[in-house]
Amino acid sequence: MALTKLNGLILKKMMIAGANRLNEKKQIVDALNVFPVPDGDTGTNMSLTALAAAKEVEKLNTLSVSEVAKAISNGALRGARGNSGVITSQIFRGFAKGLGNLEEANTKELAQAFQNAVKTAYKTVMKPKEGTILTVAKACADSAVKVAETTDDIDVFLQKVIEDGNAMLLQTTEMLPVLKQAGVVDAGAKGLLYLLEGAFESRNTIEALKVVEPEEIEQENFAALASIENTSITFGYCTEFFILVKNVKEKVVQNLKTYLATIGDSIVCVSDEELIKIHVHTDHPGLALEKALTIGELSGLKIDNMRQQHTNRIDFSNTQKKEIKQQEPEKPKEEKEIGFVAISPGDGLTEIFQNLGVDEVIQGGQTMNPSTEDILNAVEKVNAKTVFILPNNKNIILAGEQAAKLIKDKKIVVIPSKTIPQGIAAMLNVTEKDAEQMQDGMIESMGNVVSGSVTYAVRETVFGKNRIQEGDIIGMQEDMITVISKSVERCVKDLLEEIVTEEIEMISIYYGADVTEKDAEVIKKYAEKKFPDCDVELQRGGQPLYYYIISVE
C-alpha cells in the first residue's frame, strides 16, 4: 500500500537514518573540499549538526509530524557547527515552519515545507553562490512542487526529488570554477543528498533505528580530573531540559534565569519561538523543574550526578590520591558593560586573548568548529550587558550570528574576524568608548592587518596555475595559496617576502604545536634581518595543523 501521509513516527525514523548515513559518509564529503588544507570539515560539521537533530527526536514518541520537525529544528539549531552545519540547521528550521501545526503531511504539504526550507536557508547567507548546497536544495524543492502535482505517493515523491537533486549535484562542477578545476561536486550539496538518501532508504527497513554516536573530538583528561575532590563541586546535579512554550516573553525568560541563580550556577537560559533551553548546576533539580512547569511543558529532561560522574571517571590505578582542601566557590562577578568571547585554536593563542581582556575563550577553530550551543554557553558565562563574539575563522561566523539571535537578555555583537590576526587586532583596539563606537573601531582595525599561514596539502589538486601534491607545504595570504614548497622553513620565508611590503611596520609570528621554539627563532632572526625597518614579534600559538600564523600591519 502506498504511503500518502507522513506522520511523526515515520519522520523520526527518517531523520535518524539520514543522520546515520551522513555520519557514515562524512569522510567522503570532507574529501570533496577543493581547498587542499587539512581543515576541510564540511562533512564532519554537517554530520554533527544532523546527529544533534536526530538525538533530539530520538526521545520523542509522537504521531505529529510538525512536533517532530520542530524538535529536529531545535536540535540542529543548537548543534550547528561551521557554515555548512548552520545552513543545514536553517534548512531544517524552514522545513519545520513550513509544516506549521500539521499532524500529518501529504506530498503537496511536504513540497511547501521544502520550499520554505530553501527560502530560510538562502536568507542565512549574505551573498549566496550558485553551485553550492543552496543550489541543490533549491533543485530538490522545485522538483518537490512539480512531483507533488503528479503523485500522492510519498515514496515516489521522495525518490524523484532525490534523483533531481543528484542531477543538479553533477552540474555544480560546472557552476563554480574551483569545483571544475578540481573535478569535484560541491561538498555541502553531496552531504545534503546523503542525508536525504539515508532518510528515504529507511522506508524499506522495519527495524528500530538508533542514533550512532559521533567520534570523540577530544579525549578527556581524566588525570586532571583526579586532582579535584568531589566536595569541590559546589552543586551536584547537572540539570538540562527544554520548556515547550510559544511566543515566550523576554521578561519570563529573565525571571526564570534570576530564579535559577538562587538555586544553582552554570546557568544557560536561552529561547527561540518554540522553546526555552535550560542548563543549570543545582542541588535541587526538582525546584528547577517545578518552576519550569509554571511556564510550559517539559521535554528532553536530563539530570546527571556530577559528583558520581567525577568519581567514576578517575582511574585510581594510575592516579595517586592527594588530599586537597575544599575549594571555595567563586563569588559571582559584578555585571559590567562590555564582555568578550573569542574562539582560539591553540593554548598559546588562548593565553594571548585572555591577556587582551577576553572573558571566555572557546577552544576550537580549524577542524573543530564550535557549535552554536558552545558559543551560547560561553556567552552566558560572561556577566555583561553587551558581549562581543570574535569567531576568528570564516567558518564560525554564521554559528556566532545564529547564537546571537537566541540570546534575549544581552546585546550580542559578532565581530566578523576571519583569522586569528584579525581577532587579535580587534582586541588591541578595544577602547573605553560605547559599544557601537567600539564595534566600528574593531572592524576598522581588522582592515589594517594582512594574515598569512603555513600548513600542508592533504590532497593532490590544481589551484590556479599551480599543481599541488599531497604533502606539499603551502603558504597562504588570507585564503589564497601564494607559496608552494617542500620545506616549512623555506615556505614561511617565501611567504614573508610575499606579504611584507614597504608600508608594513609590524610582523607578528605565532608558531604552532608542531614547531620547536628553536626553529621559530630561526624564522624570527630571518625576518629581522630581511625587514630591518619592521618590529618583529615571535609568540607561541600552539595551534595544530598550521605551522605558522603570521600577521603583518
492, 497, 502, 505 alpha-carbon torsion, rounded to 10°: 10
Task: Tell me, yes or no, whether 217 lies in a domain.
Answer: no
- How far apart CA 391 and CA 428 sit, in angstroms, is 16
In three-state secondary structure terms, 517 is helix
How much is the pLDDT for 268?
65
Domain boundary among 446, 470, 489: 446
Task: Tell me, yes or no, whether 473 lies in a domain.
Answer: yes
pLDDT at 226 over 80: no
> 271 with 351, same domain?
no
Domain boundary among 249, 281, 313: 313
Q: How confident is the model at residue 517 (pLDDT cuts 50, 70, 90)?
A: very high
Q: What cell does 427 get?
A: 582586541
Q: What digits encode the pLDDT tens for the residues 375-431? A: 998 998 999 999 999 999 999 999 999 889 888 888 999 999 999 999 999 999 887
> 44 with 173, same domain?
yes
Task: Tell me, yes or no, whether 198 lies in a domain.
Answer: yes
> 456 with 476, same domain?
yes
Average pLDDT, the chain: 86
Q: Quote the domain boundaries for residue 304.
A: 227-313
The CATH number that applies at residue 158 is: 1.25.40.340
Q: Is 50 left (phi over 0), alpha (psi -120 to 50) or beta?
A: alpha
As a whole number, mean pLDDT of residues 356-367 equals 86
Residue 277, Cβ density class (10 Å: 0-12 exposed, 13-18 middle, ≥19 buried) = buried
> 108 with 126, same domain?
yes
How much is the pLDDT for 467?
84
Please, what's the largest Cα pairwise distance for the chain? 80
Task: Tell me, yes or no, whether 254 lies in a domain.
Answer: yes
User: Directed axis angle between helix 82-99 and helix 133-148, to 10°?
Assistant: 20
Domain boundary among 245, 280, 313: 313
How much is the pLDDT for 320?
38
How much is the pLDDT for 190?
96
pLDDT at 267 over 80: no
As a whole number, mean pLDDT of residues 204-221 equals 60
> 63 with 127, same domain?
yes
Q: What cell does 235 get?
A: 552543586
Smallest CA-to-CA distance from 156 within 119, 120, 200, 96 is with 200
Q: What digits encode the pLDDT tens for the residues 53-67? A: 999 999 888 999 999
How much is the pLDDT for 328?
45
Q: What digits encode the pLDDT tens for the residues 243-264? A: 888 777 778 887 888 888 888 8
The CATH number that applies at residue 463 is: 3.30.1180.10
Q: How confident is the model at residue 448 (pLDDT cuts 50, 70, 90)?
A: very high
> 65 with 166, same domain?
yes
Q: How confident is the model at residue 283 (pLDDT cuts 50, 70, 90)?
A: confident
- How far apart CA 430 and CA 390 sit, in angstroms, is 12
Number of H helices, E strands in the chain: 20, 16
∠467-550-521 over CA atoms, to 5°?
105
> 58 with 182, same domain?
yes
> 351 with 281, same domain?
no
> 439 with 461, same domain?
no
Task: Tell me, yes or no, whether 183 lies in a domain.
Answer: yes
How much is the pLDDT for 326?
43
Task: Tell me, yes or no, whether 330 lies in a domain.
Answer: no
> 527 with 379, same domain?
no
> 155 with 267, same domain?
no
As a whole number, mean pLDDT of residues 213-221 equals 48
Beta bridge partner(s), residue 453:
476, 549
> 101 with 190, same domain?
yes
How much is the pLDDT for 369?
87
- How far apart CA 293 and CA 290 sit, in angstroms, is 5
Task: Tell me, yes or no, whether 214 lies in a domain.
Answer: no
Q: Which of 178-182, 195-199, 535-539 has the lowest mean pLDDT?
A: 178-182
Q: How many domains does the chain have?
A: 4
Q: What digits encode the pLDDT tens for the residues 464-504? A: 777 888 899 999 999 889 999 999 999 999 999 999 999 99
The CATH number that applies at residue 441 is: 3.40.50.510
